[in-house]
Structure 1
Amino acid sequence: MINRAEGAYLGAVRAFQNPMLDLLHKRHAPLVVSVLSACFTAERPNVSVADAHTQIGDALDQLRAAGYDESLPIGTSRDLCRQWADAGWLMRQVVDDVEVYRLSAHAVDALDVAGRAGGARARVSQSRVRTMLDAVERLAQDADPDALVRMARLDAEIRRLQQELDRIQRTGAVEEVDDEQLLEEAENLLHLARELPADFARVAESIKSMQRDVVTALRQDERPTGEVLREYLERAQHVMEATSEGRAFAGALRLIGDPQRLDGLSNQLDVVLRHRFTGRLAPQQRTELREIGHRIEQGLDLVFTTQREASYVITAQVRNHDPLRDRQVDDLLRDVMTGLQTWMPESRRGQSVDPLRRLPVAEVDHLRQTAGDLRPAQPPAPLEDRDDAVVDVTSDEARAWGGPHYAELDRHLVTLADGRSIVDVAVAFNAAPEALRRPVDLLGLLELADNQGMEETDELAFVDAVRPDGTRRRLAFGGVTTRMKEAVDE
Structure 2
Amino acid sequence: MSNTRAEAAYQRSLTAFKNPTLDLLHGRYAPFVIAMLSIMFTTGRTSVAIADAHAEVGESVDQLRAAGYDEDDRRLPGGTAREICRYWVKLGWLVPQLEDDTEVYRLSAHAVGALEVAGRAGGTTGRVSRSRVRTLLDAVDRLARDAESDPAERIARLKEERATLDGEIARLERGEAEPIDDEQLLEEAENVIHLTRELPADFSRVAESIKAMQRQVVAELRRDVRPTGEILREYLEAGQHVMQATAEGRAFDGALRLIGSPEHIDRLTTQLHTLLAQPFARLLTPAQRIDLDAIGRLVEQGVQEVLTAQRRASQVITSQVRTHDPVRDRQVDDLLRSAMSGLHDWMQTSKFSDRVEPIRSFSVAEVGHLRQTLDDLRPPGAPEPLTESDDVEFIDADTRAWGGPRYRELEEYVGTLGDEFDLAAAFDGADDNTRRPVDLLGLLEIAHRNGMTESDSVSVVETIRPDGTSRRFAFGSVTARTAKETNDD
Aligned to 2:260: 256
TM-fit CA distance, 1:266: 3.0
Deviations along 1:41-67, whole A, 9 cap, x unmatched? Answer: 111111122221222222122222222
Q: Does 1:215 align with 2:218?
A: yes
Alpha-carbon distance in structure 2 between the residues aligned to 1:169 and 1:385: 105
Q: Please tell me whether the aligned partners of residues 23 and 29 of structure 1 are also in contact (alpha carbons under 8 angstroms).
A: yes
Moved more, 204-213 or 143-152: 143-152
Alpha-carbon distance in structure 2 between the residues aligned to 1:356 and 1:318: 33
Q: Does 1:227 align with 2:234?
A: yes
**Residue from 280, 300, 316 that aligns with 1:277:** 280
Q: How many residues align?
A: 425
Deviations along 1:235-282, whole A, 9 cap, x unmatched? Answer: 63354xx24x742453244333272x4444233323321222222222
Aligned to 1:140: 144
Aligned to 1:175: 179
- Structure 1's 39 and 355: CA in aligned 2 closer, same or farther, altered over 3 A? farther
**Residue from 234, 240, 243 that aligns with 1:236:** 243
**Residue from 287, 292, 296 that aligns with 1:289:** 292
1:79-98 counterparts in 2 under 5 A? 79-98=83-102
Alpha-carbon distance in structure 1 between the residues aligned to 2:294 and 2:386: 92
1:91-490 counterparts in 2 under 5 A? 91-171=95-175, 173-177=177-181, 179-223=182-226, 224-225=230-231, 226-231=233-238, 233=240, 236-239=243-246, 242-243=247-248, 246-248=250-252, 250-257=254-261, 259=263, 261-327=264-330, 329-330=332-333, 356=358, 358=360, 375=375, 377-378=377-378, 379=380, 383=384
TM-fit CA distance, 1:372: 9.6
Alpha-carbon distance in structure 2 between the residues aligned to 1:39 and 1:353: 44
Q: Please tell me whether the aligned partners of residues 210 and 313 of structure 2 are also in contact (alpha carbons under 8 angstroms).
A: yes
TM-fit CA distance, 1:315: 2.1
Alpha-carbon distance in structure 2 between the residues aligned to 1:73 and 1:440: 78
Aligned to 2:64: 63
Letter in 2 for 1:138: R
- Structure 1's 361 and 27: CA in aligned 2 closer, same or farther, altered over 3 A? farther
Aligned to 2:399: none
Alpha-carbon distance in structure 1 between the residues aligned to 2:223 and 2:368: 34
Alpha-carbon distance in structure 1 between the residues aligned to 2:187 and 2:223: 55
Deviations along 1:156-178, whole A, 9 cap, x unmatched? Answer: 2222222222222222543323x
Which runs of 5 or more structure 1 residues have no equivalent in the other structure? 391-397, 403-427, 431-437, 447-458, 463-473, 477-484
Alpha-carbon distance in structure 2 between the residues aligned to 1:172 and 1:475: 87
Letter in 2 for 1:294: R
Q: TM-score by structure 2 length?
A: 0.71
- Structure 1's 149 and 383: CA in aligned 2 closer, same or farther, altered over 3 A? closer
The two structures, once aligned, show a CA RMSD in angstroms of: 4.8
- Structure 1's 327 and 98: CA in aligned 2 closer, same or farther, altered over 3 A? farther
Alpha-carbon distance in structure 1 between the residues aligned to 2:46 and 2:242: 27
- Structure 1's 475 and 137: CA in aligned 2 closer, same or farther, altered over 3 A? closer
Which runs of 5 or more structure 2 residues have no equivalent in the other structure? 392-406, 412-419, 423-442, 459-473, 477-486
* Same amino acid, percent of matched pairs: 47
